[in-house]
């Protein structure tokens, strides 16, 4: 091959470039006529074409649909659980209210029964005091009667003994006869 001599314009351009310290301008590398940006675009087109050919968007859509269905099912279960929880809460609140009402009724009933028991105890105590008072009075009266009877019996015994002594001392058989006759005569008149 023959060397070709540089033209004056080429020499002048090379000197100016060397004088200013600028690097010589290089063309970007190309392969089959495509620069790097075109290769990237071509690679993206190929990737997208493969994704469409292999139905990746449909698979992604199906996976998302399954995930949505799962989430929807979980939301439905959560809503159902919440409804059940609210029903249970309402039921327990109703039971608590009923228990409170029953407790208030029981307290009122117990208070009424306690008042009745106190009234009955007061009545029973008054009756017991009255009965015991009567019994004590009866015992006192019986003791008084017994004492009076005992005193009478002693007095009668003492009188009988005194009368016997007097009669023995004052009366003899001769004085006895007119008294016995007078008593018989008086009995005969009746």
Per-residue tokens: 107: 């307290």
Pair of tokens at residue 48: 């997208």
* DSSP 8-class letter at 31: B
pLDDT value at residue 1: 43
Block residue for tokens 């001392």: 169
Q: How does pLDDT run along the chain (190 residues), one tens digit per residue?
A: 445 555 665 655 555 555 555 555 667 667 777 788 888 898 999 888 887 777 777 888 888 999 999 999 999 999 999 999 999 999 999 999 999 999 999 999 999 999 999 999 999 999 999 999 999 999 998 888 888 888 888 888 888 888 778 777 776 667 777 778 888 888 877 6
As a whole number of angstroms, the distance between CA 15 and CA 75 comes to: 78
Q: How far is CA 134 from CA 29, 61, 92, 130, in A?
A: 139, 106, 61, 6
Number of other CB atoms surrounding residue 120 within 10 Å: 10
Asked whether 28 and 35 are in contact (CB, 8 A), the reply is yes
């Amino acid at each position: 091959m023959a060397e070709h001599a540089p033209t004056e314009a080429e020499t002048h351009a090379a000197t100016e470039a060397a004088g200013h310290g600028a690097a010589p301008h290089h063309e970007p590398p190309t392969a089959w006529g495509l620069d790097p940006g075109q290769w990237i675009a071509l690679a993206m087109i190929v990737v997208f074409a493969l994704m469409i050919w292999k139905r990746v968007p449909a698979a992604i859509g199906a996976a998302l649909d399954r995930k949505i269905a799962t989430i929807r099912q979980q939301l439905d279960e959560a809503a159902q659980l919440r409804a059940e929880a609210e029903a249970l809460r309402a039921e327990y609140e109703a039971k608590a209210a009923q228990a409170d009402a029953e407790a208030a009724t029981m307290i009122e009933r117990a208070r009424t029964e306690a008042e009745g028991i106190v009234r009955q105890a007061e009545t029973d105590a008054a009756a017991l005091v009255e009965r015991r008072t009567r019994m004590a009075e009866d015992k006192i009266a019986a003791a008084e009667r017994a004492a009076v009877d005992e005193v009478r019996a002693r007095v009668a015994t003492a009188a009988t003994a005194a009368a016997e002594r007097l009669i023995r001392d004052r009366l003899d058989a001769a004085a006895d006869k007119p008294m016995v006759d007078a008593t018989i005569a008086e009995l005969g008149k009746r």
